[in-house]
């Protein structure tokens, strides 16, 4: 699987808009956990880790922020600022989130429960694992 910015269904209505995500249809995994970041001071940064197995889907539920992805070969920045766009991040991708707007909410759907052992928190360790010949680029 590769990182992918995805358009989500949007049902427009004068009473407000609705976007929905069904597991295994709009995202390529089953949702086992949902988490969200909020009360984030404007301009703040988060992240700086990779996951050995976890897949995620990141949405700017309110406001905007940037997601910087790094597969060990190249990096790419995505600016998320719409509820109906989501960023799929497969396993073994280093991610950082920054440039949060004041009042923003980052919603994340995750394929696994929380497991500390699944985290790679050292960038040098991440580079060591990914810096192999014939590595498939995912971003």
- Asked if 113 is part of the footprint of a copy of itself (rule: CB under 8 A), the reply reads yes
Annotated catalytic residues are 49
Touching a copy of itself, residues 115-134 (CB under 8 A): none
Number of residues forming the site for a copy of itself (CB under 8 A): 35
Touching a copy of itself, residues 47-66 (CB under 8 A): 61-62
Closest CA to 59 of 108, 2, 112, 9: 108
Task: Mention every residue, 6+ apart, whose C-beta is less than 8 A from residue 94.
Answer: 48, 49, 50, 69, 70, 71, 72, 120, 123, 126
The count of C-alpha atoms lying within 13 angstroms of the C-alpha of 58, restricted to the half-sphere facing its C-beta, is 27
Among 107, 120, 138, 139, binds a copy of itself (CB under 8 A): 107
Touching a copy of itself, residues 9-48 (CB under 8 A): 14-23, 25, 31-41, 44-46
Residues that bind a copy of itself (CB under 8 A): 14-23, 25, 31-41, 44-46, 61-62, 83, 100, 103, 105, 107, 109, 113-114
């Amino acid at each position: 699987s590769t990182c992918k910015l995805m358009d989500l269904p949007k049902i427009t209505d004068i009473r407000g808009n609705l976007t929905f995500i069904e597991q295994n249809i709009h995202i390529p995994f089953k949702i086992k956990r949902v988490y969200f970041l909020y009360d984030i001071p404007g301009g703040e940064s988060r992240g700086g880790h990779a996951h050995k197995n976890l897949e995620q889907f990141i949405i700017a539920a309110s406001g905007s922020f940037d997601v910087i992805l790094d597969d060990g070969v190249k990096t790419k920045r995505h600016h998320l600022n719409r509820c109906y766009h989501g960023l799929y991040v497969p396993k073994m991708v280093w991610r950082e989130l920054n440039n949060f707007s004041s009042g923003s909410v980052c919603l994340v759907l995750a394929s696994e429960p929380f497991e500390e052992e699944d985290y790679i928190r050292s960038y040098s360790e991440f580079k060591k694992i990914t810096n192999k010949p014939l590595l498939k680029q995912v971003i």
